[in-house]
Structure 1
Amino acid sequence: AIENGDPVTVDLSAYLDNTDVQDLTSASIDASNILTIAIENGAAVTVDLSSYLDNTDAQTIALNNTTNILTLGNGTAADTTVDLSGYVSTDDQNLTSATIDGSNILTIAIENGDPVTVDLSAYLDNTDVQDLTITGNILSLTGDATSVTLPTADGTETVVTAGADISVTGDGSAATPYVIANTRPDIFYPPSIAVDVSTTGTARTIDLHAEYLAQYGSPSVVSAGAPAAIPTYANNELYYYVTYFDPTVFANVSVDNVGVMTYDVIASPTDYNTLINVVFVAQ
């Protein structure tokens, strides 16, 4: 098991010639990274592994028991391989298993012999702490020159489709965000109000928006479960229209952009009844 790398298993059976019965007496790795394997009735074999450890990143180690190739993964560098074919002994014995546990202990089990364990923990550098960071849209790994530039959202990732009475403008980018608008405006009549036309006069005014707020804000009767007040628009959120007025009673009728209507009363209605029709349109 290698820090920051995948655990590996090593099958050493290919290195035994299987011509006799003998025990593997010991296997060890010293501080100079020299692997020594001692075989009963056979010559000890040593392998110098120090050149295959770069101690700079997360490493992996693997052995192909068919080709006798030992592979050391060097993280960002190219893998290093070692051909161990020349270290095969000339005796008769079977290697039944070789495993490395979570404590970095290599256990080699030999047919007709006692298992041998080797503590590999001293050969791990334990100094490689890597951090994954992102700056803007750049993803980087500490200790690795490689970085990944992530795509920048430009609105093309999302499709916004206009529908009936709805329009969509913009492309969703920061420079041109989506704007969704109602193409059928909110049109409504303001509440009815009394206009004094009992006498004539000029430049009279009525704040249509203020009258609208007063009646919508405090309805005389509310149905069960309804909010106490009706939602309203601010005076600069509406367009104001006078669609009709009685020309025998009113003259010089106008309305400004905040809903104040100005008018003259030129005569009293003969039947005490007259009309001014006003429409509000949400902007």
Structure 2
Amino acid sequence: MIHLRTLNRIIRSFATSPRLAAKATLAIPVTCDAETFAAGFTDAGEALAQPRPPSTPTNALWDYFQDHTEGRGIVKWTHYFDIYQRHFAKFVGQPVNVLEVGIYSGGSLGMWRSYFGEQSHVYGVDINPACRAYEGDGVSVFIGDQQDRSFWNDFRTKADGIDILIDDGGHTAAQQQVTLEEMLPHLRPGGVYLCEDVHGHFNRFAAFAATLVNGLNDIHAEEGPLLQTATTSFQASIYAIHFYPYVVVIEKQSVPVHSLSAPRQGTEWIPRPEPPT
């Protein structure tokens, strides 16, 4: 049944977007090449590598997690904490609004509140009504299905602008995709979207997020004294897309960028070879 649904989606893709579907088909050999390369990868510099702890001593989130031996439960892969520190540190002590999808036993809500400080407000979303018990000072809880677009429409009318979104919810590709589509355009400038637990080979959400890179790489430049291209709406708003083990991070621009340019510097240039005929 799953394979039939997938086949139907493929057929619909060719019917509704034949040009894009054809391009995606042409990428299949390269996708297989990349899978083979990763599976057989050997690091020539491994003997020179120096081991490092799972998180740096200055990572307050890691310290909080290690010290949290009682109370509301928290479960996180240990390598996530360096990722958090890299992308979230700039918000510490600021009036930041944080949204975590997937509350579970509530422990991480307190962790985020402690890390970002008293000026922060933490929003939690979960499908389990029992999670309302975790509301408190600086913490608001919304009950709903993250795959329901109408839920997100309602959420956006009730919550202040979100700076950070952490998707630790149901972990299905469909849930993750809907959450990204509904909330990424509404994150504040400079905001960070982070999706956790993107597991497994050929994960459909990972494929969705990786394909967004095509949007970042879009170019319509013409040769001239200044190589320049107007950005798409996506390029103007999105600063970077990062992939880590089990994690996708998308950073938004602090200020929209409406063009990209490559100015020429210097006076000495080697003539470009003529294209083959």
Structure with bigger helix share is: 2
Structure having greater relative contact order (Cα 8 Å, sep ≥ 6): 1
Larger Rg: 1
The TM-score normalised by the length of structure 2 is 0.20
The TM-score normalised by the length of structure 1 is 0.20
Structure with bigger strand share is: 1
